[in-house]
């Protein structure tokens, strides 16, 4: 059965600080954002252990985040430059798996698929609070990795909204 998480963004946070609860309201994860030479977000468990680190390159043609676990690259989330029907993301995992993200990013609704199978879905419509959106993760998919991918997509889109003319 898919698992539902609520991602709560800290209002007015330039670093991306947030927390994530499960469907019972238990606080399971935290996102700790840092701004230095490049933008970095750590996904932490309840004990404060870093599960994944998302790092946005300082200079890049594409808007993207690299996802690492420890010192190992796990994957890359990259916004496609030219699309005709809305925004699209390519998520390339180092194990060779390719995922695709698409949706209505203005309304904070998107899905990530592996072939024809949905592995991640996100929607702000599932919650009445403006700074919260739901993330549903398919059975068998690494939940913290799914949350890291959703956070990367949301951060890229938020940055684009801030810099739009």
Please give the torsion angle defined by the CA atoms of residues 146, 111, 39 and 161, in that order, rounded to the nearest 10 degrees.
Answer: -160
Residues linked to residue 109 through DSSP beta bridges, in sequence order: 104, 123
CB 152 within 8 A of CB 26: no
Q: Burial level of 21, CB count in 10 A (0-12/13-18/19+)?
A: middle
Instruction: Give the pLDDT confidence score for residue 137 in this predicted structure.
Output: 97
**Residue appearing with tokens 């592996």:** 114
Instruction: Give the pLDDT confidence score for residue 12 in this predicted structure.
Output: 42
The parent domain of residue 51 ranges over: 3-163
For the chain, report the end-to-end CA distance as a whole number of angstroms: 42
Rounded to two decimals, the pTM is 0.87
Instruction: Give the pLDDT confidence score for residue 37 in this predicted structure.
Output: 65
Instruction: Give the pLDDT confidence score for residue 141 in this predicted structure.
Output: 95
Per-residue pLDDT of the chain (165 residues; tens, 9 = 90+): 889 999 887 644 545 578 899 989 899 999 998 766 678 999 999 999 999 999 988 766 678 999 999 999 999 999 987 655 667 899 999 998 899 999 876 666 899 999 999 999 998 765 555 577 889 999 999 999 999 999 998 888 877 666 655
Name the DSSP class of 157. Answer: H
Domain count, the chain: 1
| Residue 121's CATH number | 3.20.90.10
């Amino acid at each position: 059965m898919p698992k539902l998480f609520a991602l709560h963004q800290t209002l007015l946070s330039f670093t991306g600080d947030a927390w994530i609860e499960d469907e019972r309201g238990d606080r399971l994860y935290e996102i700790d954002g840092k701004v230095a030479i490049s933008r970095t977000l750590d996904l932490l468990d309840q004990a404060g252990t870093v599960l994944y680190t998302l790092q946005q390159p300082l200079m890049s043609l594409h808007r993207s985040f690299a996802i690492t676990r420890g010192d190992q690259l796990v994957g890359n989330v990259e916004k496609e430059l030219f699309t005709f029907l809305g925004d699209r993301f390519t998520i390339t995992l180092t194990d060779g798996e390719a995922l695709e993200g698409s949706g209505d990013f203005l309304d904070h609704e998107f899905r990530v698929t592996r072939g024809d199978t949905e592995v991640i879905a996100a929607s702000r419509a599932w919650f009445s609070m403006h700074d919260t959106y739901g993330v549903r993760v398919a059975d068998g998919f690494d939940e913290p990795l799914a949350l890291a991918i959703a956070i990367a997509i949301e951060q890229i889109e938020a940055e684009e909204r801030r810099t739009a003319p």
